[in-house]
Structure 1
């Protein structure tokens, strides 16, 4: 009898459907690799609530900030591949390996699950900046080299990279000032200590609505519905500068395919949920459904694009 029981347990353990049927049976940790206050954190908390409701288990956000997101990403890459430790992934995972040879984790140890949202990136300036348009900003920066400080969430952050892309396209001259996150960078933009930032729209939208900063352009193919009066970069005369920030979930490599699929399918349901779409709109974001395969292709595309910008600008964290 005991031999029969042992055989049954062995078969059950090897059955490919068991993990998906019982998963999740306890709370899931969602690691947000940046501090509270920025767009990545906001996205993580919005999706965690919705995922928890649909999976029947709490999805708990844990902020593990530092090293431009590498600390949080490394934590997940080294976690048990059981579906209970996930990463709020973004463009950063495509860019980090291009910035340093001393990355604390193997990028191949993270696999895409699915994408769920996107936000526009905008060019914002402080109210004490004389320029009222993109062309005026470019002209002023060229006439006054070294006078305009460009804030970012850190060296090699997407804010920084968009700024470098903009300068290479236009010949504008900004002095890069890296911060430890988008939130403190935006605060100094308000005070005028820095004059320029290329930011995720949710980071600066409340300040723009209150008239505390000016938005000069949006790095999207079309105008953003949240700021319909703000022109695109193309409309402002800057070509080939479309940069949308996207967000999704990633899991440790080795996670069972059926668990990844369950997470993917759940996340795609969330991305099309009317209440979730409304919550995103309130923050200046939009739903962006994409499968695990879609996310993999996008990461490869982003890696090639930003690799060229990084090489041109000679950006390195080593």
Structure 2
């Protein structure tokens, strides 16, 4: 071919490679080149939002770019999840998921996205939950509260952050394990649910310990037990529900970061490294300790994906057994 010399061939090769996968070639040097958006599928002020903002601050410092929180609450976290699933797969839109992400396939018969539309990047933490009641409820320990629910079935209501969310599933798990019933009042996020619990509009909630600790310490709420196998360091005198009333009981939340399917592998690996380093930093560890959160062992993207699949399979029978269905 006349006029097509070695220099032209090299130029064509590099142009072609860039056209096929520009981020996979240059991601390590140029990513991120602009601010990132981290979608939190719950309202501002709730437990998931608090953890997301703490991670975003540390991650921003590491990436040298702002990580901006975008709250997209509603429909058991599926509205925000769909927004990320439909975003460009360029590494600039992240989903800060909770355990509700693993519940959604069993709760919603027709999700607006497919689980395979998103790719796991890293698991951030596990989240202890706490059974709390408004001080107007005449019970000061878990056994007394269960007896109260048994003698007055359906009278008391509980708040959650929405149908099919971690707080909803954990509360139903508690009720079924205790053999009692209560009325479910779903909210668009934990923050408004907590407001109504504090005001006495609802009687109780199985909420994130990170949100409840301050109110228990101040006496605005009564803590009856934590849902994890071990007690909280921040409230060492509060028993676990397994100790107090329901042997073997366990439930917890978790948070993870996901990105749209098709995000370049180099970007996923960079995010995994930076998130792992951020979670291991003294700054974020102090925040986790203050909030009563647990750091999980670092996971690869594949490990994070396997963790989410395992959680999905574990809770499906509970959701189906309780007849929980999203609208």
Name the TM-score, length of structure 2 as normaliser: 0.92
- Once residues 4 and 256 of structure 1 are traced to their aligned partners in structure 2, the CA distance between those partners, rounded to angstroms, is 24
Give 1:294's match in structure 2, choosing from 292, 295, 303. Answer: 303
2:90 matched residue in structure 1: 82
Is 1:235 aligned with 2:243? yes
Check conservation: 2:99, 2:165, Cα contact below 8 A.
no
Paired residues for 1:42-191 under 5 Å: 42-191=50-199
Name the TM-score, length of structure 1 as normaliser: 0.95
The SS at the match of 1:221 is coil
Is 1:219 aligned with 2:227? yes
The SS at the match of 1:316 is coil
- Once residues 63 and 181 of structure 1 are traced to their aligned partners in structure 2, the CA distance between those partners, rounded to angstroms, is 10
- Once residues 12 and 149 of structure 1 are traced to their aligned partners in structure 2, the CA distance between those partners, rounded to angstroms, is 58
- Once residues 248 and 310 of structure 2 are traced to their aligned partners in structure 1, the CA distance between those partners, rounded to angstroms, is 15
Check conservation: 1:169, 1:239, Cα contact below 8 A.
no
- Once residues 294 and 149 of structure 2 are traced to their aligned partners in structure 1, the CA distance between those partners, rounded to angstroms, is 33
Check conservation: 1:277, 1:286, Cα contact below 8 A.
no
Check conservation: 1:76, 1:252, Cα contact below 8 A.
yes
2:3 matched residue in structure 1: none
Cα displacement (A) at 1:103: 1.2
Cα displacement (A) at 1:7: 2.8
Cα displacement (A) at 1:111: 0.8
Change (3 A) 1:6 1:149: same
Comparing 283-292 with 70-79, greater Cα deviation is found at 283-292
Comparing 131-140 with 62-71, greater Cα deviation is found at 62-71
**1:85-129 CA distances to partner (integer Å, 9 max, x unpaired)?**
111012111111111122111221011100122221010011011
Q: How many aligned positions are there?
A: 318
Unpaired runs of 5+ in structure 2?
Answer: 1-6
2:257 matched residue in structure 1: 249
Unpaired runs of 5+ in structure 1?
Answer: none
Give 2:324's match in structure 1, choosing from 308, 315, 318. Answer: 315
Check conservation: 2:74, 2:189, Cα contact below 8 A.
no
Cα displacement (A) at 1:218: 0.4
Check conservation: 1:33, 1:63, Cα contact below 8 A.
yes
The SS at the match of 1:88 is strand
- Once residues 154 and 78 of structure 2 are traced to their aligned partners in structure 1, the CA distance between those partners, rounded to angstroms, is 31
- Once residues 294 and 212 of structure 1 are traced to their aligned partners in structure 2, the CA distance between those partners, rounded to angstroms, is 40
Give 1:20's match in structure 2, choosing from 2, 16, 28. Answer: 28
RMSD: 1.6
Change (3 A) 1:13 1:20: farther
Cα displacement (A) at 1:137: 0.7
- Once residues 246 and 214 of structure 2 are traced to their aligned partners in structure 1, the CA distance between those partners, rounded to angstroms, is 25
- Once residues 4 and 294 of structure 1 are traced to their aligned partners in structure 2, the CA distance between those partners, rounded to angstroms, is 39
Check conservation: 1:161, 1:310, Cα contact below 8 A.
yes
1:5 matched residue in structure 2: 11
Cα displacement (A) at 1:280: 2.1
Cα displacement (A) at 1:14: 5.3
